[in-house]
Structure 1
Amino acid sequence: MLIYLQHHVKHVLYFDVGMPPEALQMIQEQAEWSTPSQLAAKIQSQYPQVTTKQIHSAWRGLSQEFWRHDDEQLPSTKKLLAEYGDQVDVFEPVDVPEGVEILAWGMKRIADPLRGKIVEIGIDATYNTNSKHLELYSIMGEFDNAGFPLSYCLLSTATAIDQGKRTKALAGWAQCVRDKYGLNPVFIHTDKDMAEIGCSKMVWDAKINLCWWHLRRAVRVRLAKGKLSTSPYNVDRAMKEFGFIDANFIPPGTQIDIEDCEGGSPDDIVLPLVNAETSSSSTNPPTMSLPNPPANQPPAIHPPILGQPLGDALNALRIKFSLPSIVSAVGRVIQGAGFKLHIAPKQLLPDIEEEEPKPMEDEGSISKEDDDSDGPSRRTFCPVVYHEPIINMMERHYCAHPSILGYGPPDAVGIKKWAVRQSYNFCHKNKLPEVWAYLWENWYRKGWWELWARCAHKLIPVLKTTMILESHWRRIKHDFLHHFHMPRFTKLAPTYYQKLDQRLTETACYRELSSWRKGFKKIWRKLEKTPITMPVNDAYRANTEKWTCTCPFFVTSRFLLCKHLIQSMHRVPPVFFLEIQRYREPPFWRHKSLKPLDGADADTALIPMEGGGEDDEDENGAQYDEEDEEDEDDLTYELGHTGKTFEEAMAAEINLISEFASGLKHQVQFRDQRMLNTLQREGAAFFRLAKACMEKEKRMNSTRGAPVSTWEKSTGSAMFYRTRPTNVDQGT
């Protein structure tokens, strides 16, 4: 038998899928500054068979020659830094604990030009920047309200066993930076990291400022937690410092949580004895409060404290249970120890009377969501309704300073007493003993208050947060690490070299100014047009000579600005926003263009702008334009930025009002109460202005009664309204 084979389908031709040498040459030439995604589009346009994965693998291998000098990370980094001796200084920290891995270097081309010019620095760490999980620390200096990296430190303490190992290692690094570049700041900004705070205290005699953003987040997170166990509260220490604190206002029967301390457990915690006979009103023993047990399930109970009788332990724990629950729980404890329980309930606990669980009243706050339930109320650490008031209160305490006279007491001691009294009264009034214990032990007691309150130093720092460092980390991780898996400082440093040269070199034009100036200009222009409610609150005094104001907005504002000050000055020219500099003592803003209005004294009278007023507190929620405004001349500004003449703008408004009034007359026939309610609600401000103007005109044309005062409250919004003569037809 013969078999004939015939191919009906031709084989697909094989071709080489390897990387062409020409493509490898293109990758090698651009491996240092181009990313794989950038190379892929160019290479695949000429060699379509090459995949993106091939390009990335080739780029990764070829780029290693630029950064890999050793198999170990720290030795490789040290050898790489040695090649750039003209740009960096590699440090050798002393007194570093055994087992600590550290590599520190300074940015010579940045630190040397800024020698003697740095007043504020920031210290912070970031993680997940390398495969060995080394902590990357940085010291950045503030210059012209912008951050410049002065030094870096790679650190690992995983194999060290010394106490305070991280603090000692960071102190050795900071000492090198101080000695090498003569760095002696007045303010040091950091978060709650106790190692960073400790090393700053060891190396510098400076005011430590906790970042307000981190402080606010820490307090908000703690207030949101429902657990009642709180920081160990030493009421004796609180009463010794402030006599108005009540010894009986302590967390009732709440378990102490040593870990509930910001920045780690403090060293001065002394736990009271766990014994009902030795406990006093001035200490809160570490008792616990458990929720009601589920149905048909006895509550869990901790074993008795070693060396203490079972009855004393139960008394010290202050637990109220029903008798069957107690017997069942004690029985489980005894049986767990290998014994059998054959004792009647009355024989076991003859002194305990059977009692049903009762809701705890007047022992703390009640959660809002539990108020509407049918079951018993449950205490919470802090109800949601009190979160924002506490945060806002702490911000006022954070920003208060003796330089801003009239807002708070005139000295630092008085400000602290004022702040503590406000916090204590708030917690006492709302029955929040756990919150008061947390606030006092973590923020207001001696040693912690000085870390975050601005009043602890005679100057007010320019920075309020560590955002210059957070922005720096974001730049490293998002702009460089995202594209280059092994980013080198040679890619990042030139950006800061250029930015620093532009600020230190006098040029004929303004280029690449700090980003804060754009935000400063937006806020200034916004406050120029924000109406001032008349009459002005007697407590608000704008001092144009010292550039301070006692209104709430000024003290908490980022740039120390408010509408009262800005509207007391002549309009500034565009060059003002390019040249203005911020100072740390009054007057905080100084420029030749800042001139008070004619006749204004140091404590100037406030002149409202046209357009009616809202409450002063509305400034806090003001949203500024997304895009920066262009510089306009004074005439355009006075006409409201519309480009119309005064007559055209006024005629347009009058026509709109006339047409709307005609439309309202048409609505009367429908008798729709909803339309009337909407009109009264949405047009309330306009109606107030109309009534004020008509009242002013009526009184001005009347021969009876006292003349209208310019600053009279009833006609304050009608200040610029000129009354019509009496012979004019009032109906037209």
Structure 2
Amino acid sequence: NTNNLKFELYVVHAEVDGIGVPLAYLFIENNGNCGNGVRTGVIIDFLVQLKTRGLKPDFFITDKDFAQISAARFVWNGIKVQLCLWHIKKAIEARLANNKKPQQINYNGIAAQQQFSFIDPLFSPSLTKEKIVFCPKEMRPLIWKMMNNHLHKHPLIPTIDGQFLSSASIWKMAVEEIYNFCKQNSLPWLWAYLWNEWYNADRWFLWFRAGCGDKLSIFKTNMFVEAHWKVLKRDFLYKFFRPRLDLVIFVIMEQVVPHNKRKFEQIFVVKREKADWRKAFKREWKELATRTLNNNVYFTDVNHWICGCPAFFISRFLICKHLIQKKGNVAIQFFDEVHRHYQYPFLNMLPIQIDNFRIFITRFEDFEGDNIFEANNLQACEELYNRLVDTTEKVLEILKDVNGISFKKDLNILEKIKQHCKHL
């Protein structure tokens, strides 16, 4: 809803020290003719432009839009797609509250048993005229609690008993837990839905953090993108109702992009401002530092910054009272210099590397001047080539009209030639 033509607006954000930095925008016409992979193809072309400019992300966070997912996995082979936690919860809660009976059954119990032997192929839904109870209301919070735990488990984070599980083991244990719950409570429709949409071999690694075994994404949601849309609409487009597409593009290029660049420079170059997450991090750190430790003993490693307690692996900042109190008192500048990382240690004061990001931005700006060469319009390229040839020939004609001796000795003539060349 950003323009009168109802073009869909996409944005690619990069994570830099825990904040989202917009890199590029894409408008796609939403006229109902984007089936058969057309939208996926357009997004692929868009992402390829970012890849050629040096963008090599480890994670791709999105909602459950398979056009975006397919495009990202095609452009960056091996990238970890991470579905937004907020969108997952919203989709799960909406489906659990819906008791409408499906028109057909797409669940294959035999195929599921071939992947996990503990699955009973006979435990499957059947089409009858009777009403179904998809999921009792009192059980819905339990389902989400289990799924939330499954999402957060990771091979780099120890379990309660101090073990480090592989990604495959985490997946198997999660499937077994959710399957046993559905079977014990006689909920075959719920099990069929969870298996088909979330837990089968083609879906689990899209939302489990364990889908990437050697790295852990700092972000769990794409709320920074939602916040960006809020800023765009309320701070820059608030005066316009369904503005023209060219006006939206003008506002983005002339106002939004410079605004984001200034914000980036204030945080990382001039360092007059702080990342938004640091205030919440400091508040949560101090609150956890005052909590009383119980008698439970968990595997805790301050050097790698990991803990086996249940609170650690679901924490937004990967902190818990055990690690904080084991680390002890910290200097006041700690909260301004601490950084989060994808790998061990998940938290330390080593400076982050933003040079690669600056190089990417520089390349991106350099390419803006050469975008005519990037276009697939051969006619435009041919016209530009002919203009360059004509200009060069005119310069040669001017030089031939000048006497060789005076050309080398007369400064006034050289200045006139320079002015002619500037004009051309």
1:483 is the counterpart of 2:242: no
Aligned to 1:473: 229
Distance 1:390 1:162 in 2: 34
Distance 2:183 2:281 in 1: 40
| Letter aligned with residue 227 of structure 2 | S
Contact 2:112–2:121 (Cα < 8 Å) also in 1? no
1:164 is the counterpart of 2:4: no
Aligned to 1:522: 283
| Cα distance, 1:227–1:162 mapped onto 2, change above 3 Å | closer
1:498 is the counterpart of 2:371: no
The one-character-per-residue Cα deviations of 1:322-379 (angstroms, maximum 9, x if unpaired) are: xxxxxxxxxxxxxxxxxxxxxxxxxxxxxxxxxxxxxxxxxxxxxxxxxxxxxxxxx4
Contact 2:110–2:121 (Cα < 8 Å) also in 1? yes
The one-character-per-residue Cα deviations of 1:253-302 (angstroms, maximum 9, x if unpaired) are: 23xxxxxxxxxxxxxxxxxxxxxxxxxxxxxxxxx4245xxxxxxxxxxx
Deviation at 1:504, TM superposition (A): 3.4
Contact 1:409–1:418 (Cα < 8 Å) also in 2? no
1:531 is the counterpart of 2:404: no
Aligned to 2:46: 173
Deviation at 1:144, TM superposition (A): 1.2
Distance 1:526 1:418 in 2: 33
Distance 1:587 1:532 in 2: 23
Contact 2:305–2:344 (Cα < 8 Å) also in 1? yes
Distance 1:231 1:131 in 2: 41
Contact 1:381–1:432 (Cα < 8 Å) also in 2? yes
Contact 1:409–1:415 (Cα < 8 Å) also in 2? no
Aligned to 1:710: none
Q: What is the 5 A alignment of 1:540-689?
A: 540-591=298-349
1:140 is the counterpart of 2:17: no
Contact 2:44–2:75 (Cα < 8 Å) also in 1? yes
Contact 1:231–1:438 (Cα < 8 Å) also in 2? no
Contact 1:580–1:590 (Cα < 8 Å) also in 2? yes
Aligned partner of 1:413 among 163, 168, 173: 168
Identity percentage of aligned residues: 37
Deviation at 1:439, TM superposition (A): 0.6
Aligned partner of 1:395 among 148, 154, 172: 148
Distance 1:468 1:207 in 2: 19
Distance 1:437 1:182 in 2: 42
Deviation at 1:434, TM superposition (A): 0.8
The one-character-per-residue Cα deviations of 1:385-422 (angstroms, maximum 9, x if unpaired) are: 11111111111110101111234652111111111111
**Structure with the higher fraction of residues in helix conformation:** 2
| Cα distance, 1:231–1:192 mapped onto 2, change above 3 Å | farther
Aligned to 1:437: 192
| Letter aligned with residue 442 of structure 1 | E
Aligned to 2:2: 129
Contact 1:209–1:454 (Cα < 8 Å) also in 2? yes
| Cα distance, 1:442–1:159 mapped onto 2, change above 3 Å | closer
Distance 1:529 1:162 in 2: 56
| Cα distance, 1:161–1:142 mapped onto 2, change above 3 Å | closer
Deviation at 1:591, TM superposition (A): 2.8
1:233 is the counterpart of 2:107: yes
| Letter aligned with residue 228 of structure 2 | H
Give the structure with higher Rg (CA): 1
| Letter aligned with residue 132 of structure 1 | L
1:202 is the counterpart of 2:42: no
Q: Is the partner of 1:568 in helix, strand or coil?
A: helix
1:223 is the counterpart of 2:96: yes
Q: Is the partner of 2:273 in helix, strand or coil?
A: coil
Distance 2:240 2:31 in 1: 27
Contact 1:209–1:453 (Cα < 8 Å) also in 2? yes
| Cα distance, 1:426–1:517 mapped onto 2, change above 3 Å | same
Contact 1:462–1:584 (Cα < 8 Å) also in 2? yes
Deviation at 1:160, TM superposition (A): 3.6
Deviation at 1:438, TM superposition (A): 0.6
Higher relative contact order (CA 8 A, sep 6+): 2
| Letter aligned with residue 496 of structure 1 | N
| Cα distance, 1:161–1:173 mapped onto 2, change above 3 Å | closer
Q: What is the 5 A alignment of 1:249-398?
A: 249-251=123-125, 253-254=126-127, 288-291=128-131, 379-398=132-151
Distance 1:522 1:177 in 2: 37
| Letter aligned with residue 390 of structure 1 | I
| Cα distance, 1:231–1:217 mapped onto 2, change above 3 Å | farther
The one-character-per-residue Cα deviations of 1:653-673 (angstroms, maximum 9, x if unpaired) are: xxxxxxxxxxxxxxxxxxxxx
| Cα distance, 1:520–1:166 mapped onto 2, change above 3 Å | same
The one-character-per-residue Cα deviations of 1:542-571 (angstroms, maximum 9, x if unpaired) are: 222221111111111101111111111121
Distance 2:327 2:38 in 1: 54
The one-character-per-residue Cα deviations of 1:118-152 (angstroms, maximum 9, x if unpaired) are: xxxxxxxxxx1111111011111111111111111
| Cα distance, 1:145–1:525 mapped onto 2, change above 3 Å | same
Distance 1:161 1:385 in 2: 41
Q: Is the partner of 1:426 in helix, strand or coil?
A: helix
| Cα distance, 1:516–1:211 mapped onto 2, change above 3 Å | same
Distance 2:80 2:228 in 1: 23
Contact 1:231–1:441 (Cα < 8 Å) also in 2? no
Deviation at 1:520, TM superposition (A): 0.6
Distance 2:97 2:33 in 1: 36
Aligned to 1:659: none
1:513 is the counterpart of 2:282: no
Contact 1:170–1:196 (Cα < 8 Å) also in 2? yes
Q: Is the partner of 1:514 in helix, strand or coil?
A: coil
| Cα distance, 1:159–1:441 mapped onto 2, change above 3 Å | closer
Aligned to 2:55: 183
| Cα distance, 1:157–1:483 mapped onto 2, change above 3 Å | closer
Contact 2:152–2:314 (Cα < 8 Å) also in 1? yes
Aligned partner of 1:447 among 202, 211, 215: 202
Given the two structures, how large is their TM-score scaled by the length of structure 1?
A: 0.45
Distance 2:236 2:296 in 1: 52
Distance 1:246 1:542 in 2: 39
Unaligned runs of 5+ in 2: 351-424
Contact 2:157–2:306 (Cα < 8 Å) also in 1? yes
| Letter aligned with residue 494 of structure 1 | P
The one-character-per-residue Cα deviations of 1:485-540 (angstroms, maximum 9, x if unpaired) are: 445112222221111112332x5xx521110001111110110112222xx224x2
